[in-house]
């Protein structure tokens, strides 16, 4: 159930520092990525959107380690997601349910408090996983091992009997018993895998196998995800190509078959689920987002990304620890969700209130409208923003209501906070992509001007579409209108003498 906020942050700054006048003038952010067309500096991470116990913990981590709110916020949000995975979803449409697993990728420089912030956020999750493993070793493993020994002994005995069998009838009876024992042995061996809630540096083939052995659910967690980034980029692939198929399927819960395991049966995953927290160096994040194949394949648009702008700071003599009551409340939230949903056999579904559904649907429609205009060059990214808002809504709702989350309707207030959080990540994404977007816009406009040079009497939106500069007539008209508003082109309307539709023709402005 909901709890009152118990933490009041200290006086040390926890949000990213504003840009200097020189940085603002140059259009450069502190992470080195440019802002296209003088876009404003991104807002601080909205910690107020997080559930109370999670937000309090994030504030305490940022205050204690003197790191940006974004670093602590991303870490605590990731473990909130990992604590529910596919055990809790929301009815996001008439025939659609959306889970709360998210992929978070954030950058921070070495020595900036990244590992310490991660450690605080991960502590209750790691402790729960350790307890789960210890209990399995003490209570489950001995029985499984003993059953395996017994079955192997019985199989050995049946093999001897088969060798001495007289007649087809006796041999058939032994064969039936042997088949049953082998099936039982295969079932026991399938359970002889130590339980795992997390993984880190792992190949995609091994990831598929580990998912299969753990109820098709895992969290990919790393405070230094350089190796994971290299795996995704295909640095260790003999095929010399990106390797993200398992991550794509496990994000959406789609059926997956993996056949690349040597000397092994194919792995079939019916509805895999993966949550992710990858902290890495800023250059690694930029490299990953610059990989066109990963963008075209769909992985990059599925990531919630940000540069935390965490920097190394001197040791503070007045540093304080995280208050015990804050840590305890956060620990209860994570452990309650792990027990209720992460370890659940079947998912539970949240029903959205009419107001929450209307709010999230309006968010979707607003994005669709923008994808036709200012977001047309990043439409594959924007297409995921509303889905991310739904996923974040599941996480925020779970953090508020704990083990009773499936019994409570998703409220409009929670939906609004999820949208605000999703929009913060969208702004971060656009900020990181801004340099490439600016170059892409220049290229498209140069192509329009080149087309105009070939047709000096003037061009129309249809001409631009036919030249395949834009995919649709609507995009072409929007592009020409934008160039006109910036005085790059001038437009004139004409109408056929016999009547009909008005045509707007664009040419270079007269000097």
> What pLDDT does 292 receive?
79
Same domain, 389 and 495: no
Selected residue with higher pLDDT from 139 and 470: 139
Tell me how far apart the 2 most distant CA atoms of the chain are, in Å. 106
> What pLDDT does 82 receive?
98
Selected residue with higher pLDDT from 330 and 242: 330
* 483 is a domain residue: yes
Q: 177, 158 in Cβ contact below 8 A?
A: yes
Same domain, 496 and 355: no
> What pLDDT does 291 receive?
81
Q: 278, 270 in Cβ contact below 8 A?
A: no
| 408-461 pLDDT per residue, tens | 999 999 999 999 999 999 999 998 887 655 555 677 888 888 998 899 889 998
* pLDDT, averaged across the chain: 86
Same domain, 334 and 300: yes
Q: How confident is the model at residue 2 (pLDDT cuts 50, 70, 90)?
A: low
* 166 is a domain residue: no
Which CATH number covers residue 72? 3.40.50
Percentage of the residues of the chain whose pLDDT score is greater than 70:
87
**Cβ neighbours for 485, distance < 8 A, ≥ 6 positions apart:** none
Assess whether pLDDT exceeds 80 at residue 38: no
* 188 is a domain residue: no
| 322-337 pLDDT per residue, tens | 999 999 999 999 999 9
| 167-187 pLDDT per residue, tens | 888 888 889 999 999 999 989
* 230 is a domain residue: yes
* 334 is a domain residue: yes
* 5 is a domain residue: no
Domain span at residue 291 reads 21-132+196-438
Same domain, 117 and 258: yes
Q: How confident is the model at residue 12 (pLDDT cuts 50, 70, 90)?
A: very low
Selected residue with higher pLDDT from 313 and 102: 102
Report the alpha-carbon distance of residue 360 to residue 90 in Å, rounded.
12
Same domain, 406 and 502: no
Report the alpha-carbon distance of residue 347 to residue 340 in Å, rounded.
10
**Secondary structure (DSSP) of 29-69:** -TTSPBPGGGPPPPPPP-GGGS-HHHHHHHHHHHHHHT--H
> What pLDDT does 132 receive?
96
* 13 is a domain residue: no
Same domain, 347 and 485: no
* 183 is a domain residue: no
Q: How many domains does the chain have?
A: 2
Assess whether pLDDT exceeds 60 at residue 286: yes
Owner of token pair 């993996």: 258
What token pair was written down for 215?
Answer: 């109820």
């Amino acid at each position: 159930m909901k709890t009152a906020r118990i933490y009041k942050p200290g006086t040390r700054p926890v949000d990213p520092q504003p840009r200097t006048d020189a940085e603002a003038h140059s259009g450069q952010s502190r992470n080195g990525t440019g802002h296209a067309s003088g876009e404003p500096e991104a807002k601080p991470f909205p910690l107020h959107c997080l559930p109370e116990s999670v937000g309090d913990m994030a504030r305490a981590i940022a205050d204690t380690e003197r790191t940006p709110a974004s670093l602590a916020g991303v870490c605590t949000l990731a473990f909130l997601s990992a604590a529910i995975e596919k055990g809790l979803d929301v009815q996001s449409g008439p025939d659609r349910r959306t889970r709360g697993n998210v992929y978070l990728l954030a950058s921070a420089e070495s020595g900036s408090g990244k590992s310490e912030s991660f450690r605080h956020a991960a502590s209750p999750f790691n402790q729960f996983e350790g307890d789960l493993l210890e209990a399995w070793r003490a209570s489950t493993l001995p029985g499984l091992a003993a059953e395996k020994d017994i079955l192997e002994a019985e199989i050995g005995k049946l093999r001897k009997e088969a060798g001495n069998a007289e007649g087809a009838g006796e041999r058939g009876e032994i064969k039936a018993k042997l088949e049953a024992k082998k099936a039982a042995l295969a079932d026991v061996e399938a359970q002889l895998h130590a339980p795992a809630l997390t993984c880190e540096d792992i190949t995609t083939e091994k990831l598929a196998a580990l998912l299969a052995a753990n109820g098709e659910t895992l969290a990919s967690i790393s405070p230094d995800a350089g190796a994971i980034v290299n795996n995704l980029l295909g640095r260790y692939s003999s095929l010399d190509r990106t390797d993200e198929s398992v991550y794509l399927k496990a994000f959406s819960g789609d059926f997956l078959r993996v056949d690349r395991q040597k000397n092994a049966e194919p792995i079939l995953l019916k509805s895999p689920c993966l949550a992710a927290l990858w902290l890495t160096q800023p250059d690694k994040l930029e490299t990953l987002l610059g990989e066109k194949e990963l963008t075209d394949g769909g992985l990059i648009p599925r990531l919630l990304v940000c540069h935390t702008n965490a920097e190394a700071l001197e040791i503070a003599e007045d540093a304080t620890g995280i208050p015990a009551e804050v840590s305890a409340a956060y620990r209860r939230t994570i452990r309650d969700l792990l027990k209720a949903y992460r370890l659940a056999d079947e998912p539970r579904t949240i029903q959205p209130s009419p107001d929450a559904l209307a709010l999230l649907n309006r968010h979707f429609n607003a994005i669709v409208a923008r994808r036709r205009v200012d977001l047309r060059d990043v439409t594959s990214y924007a297409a995921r923003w509303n889905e991310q808002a739904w996923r974040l809504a599941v996480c925020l709702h779970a953090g508020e209501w704990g083990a009773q989350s499936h019994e409570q309707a998703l409220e409009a207030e929670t939906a609004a906070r999820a949208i605000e959080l999703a929009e913060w990540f969208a702004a971060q994404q656009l900020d990181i992509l801004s340099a490439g977007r600016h170059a892409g816009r220049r290229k498209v406009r140069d192509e329009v001007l080149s087309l105009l040079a070939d047709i000096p009497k003037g061009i129309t939106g249809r001409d631009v579409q036919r030249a395949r500069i834009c995919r649709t007539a609507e995009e072409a008209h929007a592009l020409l209108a934008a160039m006109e508003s910036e005085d790059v082109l001038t437009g004139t309307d004409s109408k056929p003498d016999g009547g009909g539709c008005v045509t707007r023709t664009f040419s270079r402005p007269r000097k």
